[in-house]
Each structure stands twice: as structure tokens, then as C-alpha cells.
Structure 1
Amino acid sequence: MLKLAVCDDERVFRNDLKRIVRTELDLCGIDHDISEFTCGEELLDSLEHSDFQIIFLDVEMKELDGIETARRIRKYNKQSEIIFVTSHPDFVFQGYEVRALNYIIKPYEQSKIVSVLHTALESLDLSLEKYYVIEQRSGSIRLPLSSVTYFVSDKRIIHAVTSEKSYDFYQKLNDVELQLGGGFVRIHNRYLVNLKYLQEIKGNTAVVAGEILPVSRTCKQALSIAFAKYMLHQEDMSC
């Protein structure tokens, strides 16, 4: 089980961070446990009984701040991935001495949290495969999202289309979109496509895994931006 700690003296930020991290880890199919702490002292006391692999640590806390807390953590644990949380980027430079993995700026951006979390998971060499759990009368199916080319809504039924077959279930496409996070983009009020399989945008259509799908006028600009960002990211990964 992956063990994480969230240490922040503001409840609203702890809750937001936990929600985003928990949702992403559920999608990845990674069994996890998240402990929360309101101050550095609480976190340090817990280290006698718990060994956290990922620690989200607020820099600006009363009494013992995040930087000093991280220094003391490193006396117990050299392997934990420490991710600083701060409202002031200037504090980030102090993270080098405690080998902090990365930092997150308040107020939170979900995409940044997800990106930093995946960097930590890669460093820990954990599986990053995401799954979508489909509930059917016959039981639950854990469908790898990497195999899904697109989701399409047909009234009250959603079809999760892969290269081999289609999985049908009852759900609203808006709810599916909220659960997926990144990697998928809306091209139409009925279609949600995997950017991995998006090959081309041509006028009011998109080519997805060789199939031509409709693109609505309201989705076209956001689709073009998402596709461009995805292609740039792929180029960066290949460098």
C-alpha cells in the first residue's frame, strides 16, 4: 500500500489536496492510505510509527515551518518524496538542501498536483496505469483507460470504445469526464476522446484511431489547444 502524508495547517487546503490525490490514485488502481497533519510536530511524531513514501508539506506553518520539518524528516527517512506546498515561490529554492522532489503553489491547480504526483510515482517505480470501473449487472469491470479510444453517449447509455470491443453502462457523460481527469478531451456533447488516439482535426471532424467523429463548434477551440499541448508534451518526452 502506498502511504502518503498531507501536512498543512489550513483544513481547506488539506481537503482539496487529498481529494485530488485520492481521485488520481483511484484512477491509477493504486491502493493507498492518506494521513493528514495540522503541523510539522504532528508529522514528525508519527514517523516513529509510519513510513510515508510521499509527503506533501506546507512551507509556511506556525511554530515548526515546512523547511525545518523537512530537515528533521531527512534524519529519519532519506527515501521519502517530499513535495512542498506554498503560497510564495521564493521558498522553493530552500528545498534543494532537503532534496524536495517538487513544489505546488497555492491556490491549487489540479493539473499541477496530478503532474507532480505522477513524477513522484515514477520515482517510486509504481504502476501508472489508470482504470475506469464500469458497473454492470454481471459485476464490475476495471477497464484500462489506455485501451479506450473514446466514450460516446447514446441517451442514457455510455459506450466505452476500445480497438477490440465496446463496453456499455449507464452513466452521464459529464460524470465520466469529471472522473477521468487529464488525457481525455470533449469534442462534442456526445463524445469524449482519448488524446492518445487523436490523429487529426479536419474541419468539423476528428480522426480518432482511424475513425471519423464529429466536432462541435463549441468544443473546437478547446480541442485544438488540448491537441497542440499534447503533441508538444510528446515531443518533449522524446527529447
Structure 2
Amino acid sequence: MKIAIVDDEAEAREELQQVLRSCGIALVEQADCWHYASGEEFLAGFQPDSFQLVFLDIRMEGMNGIETARLIRKQTANLPIVFLTSSADYALEGYQVFPAGYLLKPIRQGRLQLLDILQHCLPQAPAVLAVQWNGRKLQVPRARIAYVDVKGNRRVGGRRGCVVHLLADRELAVDTPYPEVAAALRAADFAECYNHLLVNFAAVETLLADGFELKNGERLPISRRLYREVSRDYMEYLLRK
């Protein structure tokens, strides 16, 4: 995957690349990022199939981001364009070129907004969790997962790994370490609500004062330290749905 970052501030380009490198979406973290200091520089060698995603600063010296986007749209209607801006003044004008979204600077403060935009404009990740189970590869449909934990940092049977709990009151003691599973599910509406406890928001029936009640009747705790963040993320999930 190739991503273009077009911004006349070198520091802003580097900041965005660092956030993309740690966003938790493998396709983005492993992408080839190209930096451009102006719209003119970007358009000089642009081809419709050159990139799969473009981040475009609106306020730049010379050709601004909206003018650049209009010229991009003359060549392709499908390339996702995400505008970068320090104010919403250009929002109405910018929507005439059908952007995938807007990100307010500084980018680090809009990390959740960035993840939401990426999830909607990128090719959809496989709706399965790939794990190692008894020495062989297994694909578990994400929709069937209620939560993931480690049961004392050791999987059932004594070997290191984690436990994938299914909505059908079954559990899979897998060999894949918890950090790998958490990284694979981070951008798929799963959230860590307690230490080494990852819940699937789609499996939640009710948000309680101290935890979640799941659709299968189980209750999971939410740590005091994480409650505000996790409850906010869950409410944002409900609004998206």
C-alpha cells in the first residue's frame, strides 16, 4: 500500500507518519509513505493508480489542498482523500471533492478520529482472527468472539498463549500470545477493559457502572483507570452503528 502525505510543514508530515506507524492497522503500519511539500510537487508525477490513500493539508503555500483535490478528482473519483486542517472553515467547500474525512491538527490528538476514517476508507480487514491452535492455523470469525483473556498469563493446559471466549459459551485455548491477538483486534471494535482482558463491543448488551454485561449473560469488569476511556469508545461505537 502507498500513502501520500502532502503538507508544506515537514514536522506535520513526520508527525502524521509516526501516528500511522502506530495506529494498529497492519495494512497502514506497513504502508510505503511518500512525503510532498506542496500540491504542485505531488501532482507533478501523479497517476490515478499511484496511491491508495492521500492525506492533503488544506492550507499550503501556492496551490492549496482543495485546489489540489479538484485536480486529483479530474483524474480519479475513487482515491480516498483525507484533508488535514487547523480549522473547519473550509469544510463546506472541501466536501465538493468528496473527501474521506477531515483531521484537525495536531494529529496526535485526533487518533480515534483517524482510526474511524481509516476503517471506513480502507479495504476491509478479514472478519476473522487468525491464531495458532494445537500447532495448526485456525481462523475464528470475529463476530463469534465475546472476549479474550489470559487466565493468569497462561492458557488452559499450562502453555503460554491466551483464551478466546466465544459467545456460544465455548473457549479456545490458543497458542498465539495475547499481545499478538490484541494487536490484530485493536482496530476491529475490540477494547481492553481490564488488564489482559479484551472485549468485543459487538458482544456487549449493556454498559454498567463497573463493567459490561454481555449478550450471553456474562459480566466483565472495567478497571477504574480505564473506565472513562473505554465507556467513551463504546459510546462512539454505538453511534457508528
| Same fold by TM-score greater than 0.5 | yes
Give 1:171 deviation, angstroms: 4.0
> What is the alpha-carbon distance in structure 2 between the residues aligned to residue 41 and residue 212 of structure 1?
57
What is the CA deviation profile of residues 191-222 of structure 1, one whole-angstrom value per residue up to 9, with x for unaligned ones?
Answer: 22111101134565533241523415514555
**Aligned alpha-carbon RMSD (Å):** 3.7
CA contact (8 A) 1:20 1:113 kept: no
Q: How many percent identity over aligned positions?
A: 23
Gaps of 5+ in 1: 235-239
Structure 1 stretches of 4+ with a deviation exceeding 6 A read none
Does 1:207 find its partner at 2:213? yes
Q: Aligned letter for 1:26?
A: A
| Contact 2:119-2:187 within 8 A present in 1 as well | no
Q: Distance in 2 between matches of 1:25 and 1:174?
A: 12
Report the counterpart of residue 119 of structure 1 in structure 2. 120
Distance 1:27 1:171, change over 3 A: farther
Which deviates more, 35-44 or 45-54?
45-54
How far did 1:44 drift?
0.6
How far apart are residue 167 of structure 1 and its match?
4.2
| Aligned twin of 1:152 | 149
Paired residues in the alignment total 228
Work out whether 1:38 is the aligned partner of 2:37.
yes
Distance 1:20 1:145, change over 3 A: farther
Q: Structure 1 residues 152-161 or 216-225, which shifts more?
A: 216-225
- Relative to structure 1, the CA distance from residue 82 to residue 131 in structure 2 (aligned partners, 3 Å threshold; closer, same or farther) is same
Alignment of 1:34-113 (within 5 A): 34-48=33-47, 50-108=49-107, 109-113=110-114
Q: 2:198 aligns with which of 189, 192, 199?
A: 192
Distance verdict in 2 for CA 1:91–1:206, change over 3 Å = closer
Report how far residue 112 of structure 1 moved: 1.0
Tell me which protein shows more helix as a share of its residues: 1
Map residues 22-37 of structure 1 onto 2, 5 A cutoff: 23=23, 25-26=25-26, 33-37=32-36
C-alpha contact 1:84 1:102 (8 A) present in aligned 2:
yes
In 2, the alpha carbon distance for the partners of 1:229 and 1:176 equals: 20
Greater shift, 77-86 or 189-198, is seen at 77-86
Query: 1:189 touches 1:216 (CA, 8 Å); kept in 2?
Result: no
Evaluate the alpha carbon distance shift between residue 119 and residue 222 of structure 1 in structure 2; reply closer, same or farther with a 3 A threshold: closer
* Deviation of 1:9 (Å): 2.8
CA contact (8 A) 1:27 1:131 kept: no
Residue 162 of structure 1 aligns with an amino acid whose one-letter code is: L
1:61 maps to amino acid: M
Q: With structure 1 as the length reference, what TM-score do the two structures score?
A: 0.72
User: 1:6-21 to 2 correspondence within 5 Å?
Assistant: 6-21=5-20
- Residue in 2 that maps onto 1:5: 4
Structure 1 pair 148–21 and aligned structure 2 pair: CA distance change class (3 A): farther
2:133 touches 2:173 (CA, 8 Å); kept in 1?
no
Question: What residue in structure 2 maps to residue 237 of structure 1?
Answer: none
Residue 144 to residue 44, structure 1, CA distance change in 2 (3 Å): farther
- Calculate the TM-score normalised by the size of structure 2: 0.72
Name the one with the larger strand percent. Answer: 1
